[in-house]
Structure 1
Amino acid sequence: MHEAPPQNQEPEETGPSRRSVLWTAGAAGAAGLGLAALGTGPAAAAAPGADGTAEAAATAPKPQGKTMIGVPFAPRSTVRVGIIGLGNRGDSMIDLFLAVPHVRVVALCDPVKEKVARAVAKVTKAGQPAPAVYTNGDHDFENLCRRTDIDFVYAATPWDRHFEMAKTALLNGKHVGTECPLALRLDQLWELVDLSERTRRHCLQLENCCYGRNEMRVLRMAHAGLFGELLHGAGAYLHDLRGLMFDPTYYEGPWRRLWHTRLRGDLYPTHGFGPVASYMDVNRGDRVVRIASFGTPALGLAAYRKQHMPPGDPSWRESYVESDRTISLVQTAKGRVIRLEHDVSTPHPYSRINSLGGTKGVFEDYPERIYLEPDQGNDEWGDFGKYAEWDHWLWKEHANPPGGHGGMDYMLVFRLTQCLRLGLVPDFDVYDAATWSAPVPLSDRSLRAKGMPQEIPDFTRGLWHKARPGMDSPKPTE
């Protein structure tokens, strides 16, 4: 049903007040996303000056509004959320929104009515009123975004729908957050930056890995100088998804596997990129200026299909081009180097690498280990557990958080809704979202250009020089 939305939206910053196609991103999604288009758009050819700023800022599109850097949310007593997409991710995240005090799930959208019914049951079981539901085809999310009783829209759908959902939410005066990546094309990323500035609404990449316990501990240690001057870092998404990508029920259709027939670059950079960018204060005193990517042959999915899929399965009509292992090198204006890796189509244990090195030592994850001077010596790794005093205040306050991924999902939801409720500046912003997502099109372009470096736009338009808080913001007072 479509409830008549109540006219009680709180005052805020000044601004204007799809089944298989929508959620599977099948052939229709590919049709409007030509491979060449992934590397195009305003500032696609932006070249940094000697310090990585002047030329890049000069070639950025003219701003349509004031910067969103440092802009707080308007405070509110209750955070009212609308959720688009109730597949594996959305269905798990709704539990966490319901677990945080002062948060109400107002509306749900998914064309699969059975999924919506399950989600509605969760909401009412938690003691909240039944949410409005939007199940009428590919674009019913637009009606959800038009409601006047929603503060924040969360999109947990396949990648190529994030852009239009974020755009629609912004144009309807809503703050919005998406799963990764924010968008798949540079021109789309720039459009969302412009819209966020023009509408005075935040557009966020909800990167849960930034809230991992190890990531937040390393962040605080890095910013306290324990690693000395930072030199290099690494992040990755190394996750054997072959079985899930060929499972006919796990994903709503084959949308994720089909991306391996379209792109060669890093399809999922933000899990590794977001935390390392935070360590290095990217967009807060440093910025990333270029990326060069290299990839292996695409053999893993075809080999898995040959071993496991019966003749006549639709997957036999697919030709895979995505490199089994993509390795990208990103350089910052200060000369630091970040290594990004992506591999979901070969057998290996899960890892995000999560490494940081400086003039006083290095941390490496999976397994966690650390080497810092003067604490360690004799070329032996030290015990990272001995640095628990450096845990972020979120992890000290919530030592055993509910939810999956080791609790980082809950930390993300708790902190996001805390910022919304108390009227705080979010831990990351649209400039971070665009920066973390830019390796998707740029790594693909670099691979097709035999590893030629590609310039990364300065989405802050030159404002990255100024140091400012980010993921290590202090604990607020209620």
Structure 2
Amino acid sequence: MAPANRYAPSRRNLLKSGIVLGAATGAAGTAGSPADADSTAWEPSRGPHERSMVDVPFEGFEKVRVGLIGLGNRGGGQDVRFGAVATVVAVCDIRPERVSRTIDRIMRQGFQDVEPVGYSAGEEDFLNLVRRDDLDLIYVATPWEWHYPQAKAAMEHGKHVAVELPISPHLDEIWDLVRTSERTRKHCLLLENVNYFRPELQMFNMVKAGLFGDVQHASGGYVHDLRWPYLFGGAYFPEPWRRRWQTRMNALHYPMHGLGPVSASMGINRGDRFDELVAVASPPKALALFREEDPRVGEEHSSWQDKPYISGDRHTCFVTTASGRFIRVEHDVNSPHPYTRETTLTGTRGSVELDNARIYLESLGHNDHTWRTGAAYAGILKQYDHWLWPLLERLADQYGGHGGGDFVSIFRLVQLMRLGMTPDIDVYDSAAWCSVIPLSHESMKSERLRPVKVPDFTRGHWKEARPTFDRPQPVDPLLKGS
């Protein structure tokens, strides 16, 4: 049974319960889940209408029709990227001015003749969008507490759904999204843009080429000083939503940007899987200190209404895998620190550190205990470029988004849908990566180090090799010369 406290208005709890989703087929729910909320390794048996989504392709679409939910800090930049590669049919935000702005931006691109329909009549108007019968994909870029009900509603109404990070911060909701996907036969996936960044794809190709030998361990995460303007400076809307998660869970709230790429390179859910994790955290001091000392945070600032901050400033989590390897996951958005995703990977033949831009591989003749950096580093990675980047480099430069990686990720998702292929990142990858959030919280409930088991969201299918980013460039009639 879902825990009673969801840190959100009762209206949202109503949405999450499925009562107002309007699905005639019934909710997958979490019936049969253990009464003990600490039973993190609980893996529900599949219901009579639930079947694995492993290797299930998209249907294939002549054109992909998209609905956008959330047009703020993140969604407000992704709109034109979706508009460049798909048909944006409908857009939704609780702010009417954001809806109007997005419609104008999409129409000024000149790629579609019919204006998107706008939805801005309150917090539940997204339900009217997902009920439309002229949509194939829903994109969700709202505050985290809304990801689960909006993704579930999309699938219940026959749409695939791509969700910004995370799909949910709660384990029971993650499981429900997996089961809803299996029942509705609609894909629910994390739109993890960093998996499509150029160096991360180059690292992936180098692993596949055997340059690292047997991969032994890796690290990845998210270390980014968000105090200003994000947590306190109003860059998000509503202003306090992300900051207040620090009053609700002591957890690695947002580890997926570094975790996703190294998980893909290590073949997680494709021959190996997360097995167990243990997390630690430093004391929560930085946010209260910032609020007290920074002159930009005045006496009337909403942060003075926050409950005490309980999430540590720095979190480190070790995830072990079924084959005996491990990933060190880092998270810190509170402390003064230059941005890093802490992305490293080590095998029996050498190591790479993407954030430090250095590599050392015995398989390439490196035997002098000296990192290859600068032009030497870039030259090595360039030899293992993923086909997506030379193909899309000009468009990635034009549409941007984290160096073009945002555009590449959206292009690729729409391409997979058009061509009737399986997703690169599926619901099981999304569930495993996001499960680090609630499981790290669970691990740190005790004063002593407490490992917790990671559920097998694939329910056995992780043992099967299957393709992901290693698939060759497909024949695409919309791309000249492909």
TM-score by length of 2: 0.87
1:27–1:461 Cα change, 3 Å: closer
Mapping 1:344-383, distance limit 5 Å? 344-374=333-363, 375-382=365-372, 383=376
Give the drift of 1:270.
1.1
1:419–1:295 Cα change, 3 Å: same
Specify the SS of the correspondent of 1:289. strand
Specify the SS of the correspondent of 1:235. strand
Per-residue CA deviations over 1:119-162 (Å, capped at 9, x if unaligned) read 01012112221111111111111111011100000000011110
Which of 462, 474, 477 matches 2:475?
A: 477
Give the drift of 1:377.
2.3
Aligned-pair identity in percent equals 44
Per-residue CA deviations over 1:11-68 (Å, capped at 9, x if unaligned) read xxxxxxxxxxxxxx975289959xxxxxx994766688xxxxxxx7xx4333442211
CA RMSD of superposed structures (Å): 2.0
Structure 1 window deviating more from structure 2 (121-130 vs 419-428): it is: 121-130
Specify the SS of the correspondent of 1:406. coil
Contact 2:253 2:437 (C-alpha < 8 Å) held by counterparts:
yes
1:249–1:274 Cα change, 3 Å: closer
Are 1:292 and 2:292 an aligned pair?
no
Q: Which residue of 2 aligns with 1:5?
A: none
Q: Which residue of 2 aligns with 1:407?
A: 404
Q: Which residue of 2 aligns with 1:310?
A: 298
Contact 1:26 1:255 (C-alpha < 8 Å) held by counterparts:
no
Partner amino acid, structure 1, of 2:313: D
Mapping 1:260-275, distance limit 5 Å? 260-275=246-261
Contact 1:60 1:458 (C-alpha < 8 Å) held by counterparts:
no
Give the drift of 1:252.
2.5
Distance 2:402 2:388 in 1: 16
Which of 416, 420, 435 matches 2:413?
A: 416
Q: Which residue of 2 aligns with 1:135?
A: 120
Distance 1:41 1:177 in 2: 28
Mapping 1:141-290, distance limit 5 Å? 141-244=126-229, 245-290=231-276
Contact 2:73 2:235 (C-alpha < 8 Å) held by counterparts:
no
Distance 1:94 1:276 in 2: 28
Q: Which residue of 1 aligns with 2:62?
A: 77
Distance 2:225 2:237 in 1: 15
Specify the SS of the correspondent of 2:359. strand
Which of 45, 49, 58 matches 1:61?
A: 45
Distance 2:312 2:129 in 1: 38
Give the drift of 1:310.
2.3
Per-residue CA deviations over 1:181-221 (Å, capped at 9, x if unaligned) read 10121111111111111111101111111001110000011
Structure 1 window deviating more from structure 2 (89-98 vs 308-317): it is: 308-317
Give the drift of 1:303.
1.1
Q: Which residue of 2 aligns with 1:393?
A: 387
Q: Which residue of 2 aligns with 1:123?
A: 106
TM-score by length of 1: 0.88
Q: Which residue of 2 aligns with 1:37?
A: none
Count of residues paired in the alignment? 437
Give the drift of 1:312.
3.9
Distance 1:313 1:30 in 2: 26
1:378–1:447 Cα change, 3 Å: same
Specify the SS of the correspondent of 1:311. coil
